[in-house]
Amino acid sequence: MRSIAVLVIAVFWAADAAAWEKGRVSTANGQNCTMQETGQVGVSFNNMMVAKLERIGAEMDQKIDEVLALAKQAQLTKIEVQSYSYNVYPVSSGFPPGANLPYQYSGNVSFLVEPCAKASELMSLLAAKGYSANLNVNAYRQCQ
């Protein structure tokens, strides 16, 4: 009998915990509150080869343009570059001294995306093209 009472109490607590409003709610002091979501998509480029060091900036720009084109295809209403970085190093093993060395680089770009509900479509398109990508969504309640 005691286990049934514990089960009933646990069910009521679980129901209360799950009963939060994702949409618009009003507070006791008359404010209207809604959940706001911000999304970021990060794309990584690893072990990319480039023959001339001065081409790396142009190659990163090309990668960013490719992601922006996929964002249009995913019908995102907003996509902005938040940050990017890359690390460059010469590929020196196996080349004789004095030879023109190719360079290898790894980089990443972070994009702000809206709406978050369409960000998963962008992730699918990036994965289909072989990109290494991740999605980060942050939600918070904003009251006015």
CA distances, 24 to each of 34, 124, 143 (Å): 5, 30, 9
Element spanning 35, H or E: strand 32-50
| Domain parsing of the chain, residue ranges | 22-143
Q: What is the pTM of this model?
A: 0.71
Question: The CATH number of 22-143 is which of 3.30.70, 1.20.120, 1.10.1240, 3.30.700?
Answer: 3.30.70
Distances in Å between the Cα of 112 and the Cα atoms of 21, 43, 78, 128, 138 are 25, 12, 8, 21, 11
Predicted confidence pLDDT, tens digits, the chain (144 residues): 555 544 444 444 444 444 455 666 666 677 888 888 889 999 998 888 888 888 889 999 999 999 999 999 999 999 999 999 999 988 877 778 877 888 899 999 999 999 888 898 999 999 999 899 999 999 888 888
Q: What is the pLDDT of residue 24?
A: 65
